[in-house]
Amino acid sequence: MPPEWMFLDMADADAPSHFVKDLQAPVNDGWVFTGPSPTLKILAVLTKDLKLRVEFTLWEVAFRDTGPVQLEFRVNGIPLANVRYDSPGPKIFEQPIPPENLAVGEESTVSITIDKPWVSPRNHLQYGFILQRIGFVR
């Protein structure tokens, strides 16, 4: 199990302090709606044998309008993976991070971009997905 500061649960009181952009605060019941390209800062205390793990949900209401979506996962601006999702519901993304993409003791920028954000007919804001947990795991 990684140190707690390498893995963020959106229910944690300090989770918003890691938000850089496209994440709504306050955090509600352990999840947060994202915008089209949520970005967070996560401290790396190790660099070897780490994976980026993201636990999220593609909201069924949005998915009815957008259909299949593609998410691009990046660490420190470097693309890690592009993944197409053909169904709504809970998802887990996990992918090894090349050690050279991280620095021990420094916050890393993690961003996820959705190719087709959902636009709310009520307020015309763009939404990506529901984020529950994100961070570095072994």
CA distance 18 to 16: 5
Kindly report the CATH number assigned to the domain that includes residue 22.
2.60.120.260
pLDDT the model gives residue 30: 86
Residue 10 burial (CB < 10 Å; 0-12/13-18/19+)? Answer: buried
d(CA 109, CA 93): 17
Q: How many domains does the chain have?
A: 1
For 43, the token pair is 């401290």
Q: What pLDDT is recorded for position 2?
A: 45
Q: How far is CA 5 from CA 10, 24, 27, 72, 137, in A?
A: 12, 20, 17, 23, 11
Beta bridge partners of 75: 78, 110
Expressed as residue numbers, the domain containing 91 is 4-137
Looking at residue 13, its pLDDT comes to 87
> Which tokens in the block code for residue 55?
């636990």
Residue 4: its pLDDT value, please? 53
* Tokens found for residue 71: 């998410």
**Confidence at residue 29, expressed as pLDDT on a 0 to 100 scale:** 79
Spans in the chain with pLDDT lower than 70: 1-5, 26-28
pLDDT at 24: 85
